[in-house]
């Protein structure tokens, strides 16, 4: 049995270019994984057995929505099927996925689950695939999957397939807030395409990576589109900003909001203050430098 923590992420900076002929938007983003994780358990079954999957909310999950998607549309299950196709044989497993990361929150939970599945199966079945192999398989599942193979802090470009590790000297402390609404990525991009082109540039992301992190220079080109898709985000941003007295950012395509804090004590105090003021749920968290290790239990 393998136990794998599948971390969420935030986009400290996100530039999005106009849609290309391939229907994809080029991006340039500084992404970091955080210590809010889904839990994945994989058990290898004897040859010839049918794989079984269970997806549910972890008892610690703060924001739960109905798990109403087809099992074969789940990105962790799709990763399993894609890896079987890649190696040309069945890899029978029993999978249990317990989710803490909100769905439709812009934190890459599904992509992280897929990456954790690829890493876990590679170890469980002694497949000997390289990180690059896993990232290549993952790129066909979701644009964030290649980033999550290694995790940590990275510059992510193109359609998500170009990942350049950018280690940070110390953890980045964050206050995360969950507005209770989901932002469908496709709808956010549709809204983005109807808006004025971004005044930001990839160079701003490069510059941020080369300087000390300033909580007030973070940006997200999808933030305004997310706020159009889910207008309640505007209200929550104003509420949080009034207490934080610094910038409030949208992660990815939303709906998770975050503030970069000075330390964990600062993050915890802000989460408590916002909850007391508006009832908004949140957690204090920190960035992590790499994908969590695979933990083996039992035969």
Q: Would you give per-residue pLDDT tens digits along the chain (299 residues)?
A: 899 999 999 999 999 999 888 888 999 999 999 999 999 999 999 999 999 999 999 999 998 888 888 898 999 999 999 999 999 999 999 999 999 999 999 999 999 999 999 999 999 999 999 999 999 999 999 999 999 999 999 999 999 999 999 999 899 999 999 999 999 999 999 999 999 888 899 999 999 999 989 999 999 999 999 999 999 999 999 999 999 999 999 999 999 999 999 999 999 999 999 999 999 999 999 999 988 888 877 55
User: Is residue 68 located within the same domain as residue 136?
Assistant: yes
149 shares its domain with 50: yes
Count of structural domains within the chain: 2
Please name which of 67, 53, 23 lies closest in space to residue 193, comparing C-alpha atoms: 23
Same domain, 213 and 239: yes
Euclidean distance between CA atoms 173 and 260, whole angstroms: 6
Cα 104 to Cα 226: distance, rounded to the nearest angstrom? 11
Q: Do residues 243 and 277 make contact, with C-beta atoms less than 8 angstroms apart? A: yes
Q: Do 95 and 200 belong together in one domain?
A: no
CB 29 within 8 A of CB 11: yes
229 and 197: one domain?
Answer: yes
The two structure tokens encoding residue 201:
């540039």
Q: Cite the active site residues.
A: 9, 144
> Please, which residues bridge with residue 294 across strands?
4
Of 141, 184, 136, the residue nearest 162 (C-alpha): 136
Instruction: Give domain status of residue 146, yes or no.
Output: yes
181 neighbors 255 (Cβ within 8 angstroms)? yes
The dihedral over CA atoms of 95, 101, 104, 110, expressed in degrees to the nearest 10, equals: -30
Inter-residue contact 53 to 77 (CB < 8 Å): yes
């Amino acid at each position: 049995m393998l136990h794998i923590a599948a971390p969420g992420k935030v986009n400290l900076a996100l530039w999005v270019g106009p849609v290309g002929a391939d229907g994809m938007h080029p991006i340039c983003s500084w992404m970091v994984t955080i210590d809010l994780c889904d839990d994945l358990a994989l058990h290898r079954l004897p040859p010839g057995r049918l794989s079984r999957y269970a997806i549910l909310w972890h008892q610690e999950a703060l924001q739960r929505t109905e798990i109403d998607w087809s099992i074969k549309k789940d990105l962790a299950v799709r990763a399993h099927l894609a890896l079987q196709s890649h190696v040309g044989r069945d890899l029978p497993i029993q999978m249990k996925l317990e989710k803490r990361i909100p769905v439709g929150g812009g934190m890459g939970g599904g992509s992280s689950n897929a990456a954790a599945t690829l890493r876990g199966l590679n170890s469980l079945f002694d497949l000997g695939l390289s990180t690059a192999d896993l990232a290549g398989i993952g790129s066909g599942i979701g644009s964030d999957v290649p980033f999550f193979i290694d995790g940590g802090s990275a510059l992510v470009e193109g359609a998500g397939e170009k990942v350049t590790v950018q280690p940070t000297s110390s953890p980045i402390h964050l206050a995360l807030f969950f507005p209770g609404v989901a932002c469908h990525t496709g709808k956010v991009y549709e809204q983005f395409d109807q808006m004025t082109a971004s005044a930001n540039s990839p160079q701003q992301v490069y510059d941020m990576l080369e300087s000390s992190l300033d909580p007030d220079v973070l940006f997200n080109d999808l933030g305004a589109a997310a706020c159009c898709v889910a207008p309640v985000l505007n209200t929550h941003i104003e509420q949080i900003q009034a207490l934080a007295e610094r910038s409030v950012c949208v992660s990815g395509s939303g709906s998770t909001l975050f503030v970069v804090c000075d330390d964990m004590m600062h993050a915890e105090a802000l989460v408590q203050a916002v909850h007391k003021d508006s009832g908004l749920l949140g957690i204090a968290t920190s960035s992590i430098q790499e994908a969590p290790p695979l933990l083996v239990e039992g035969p």
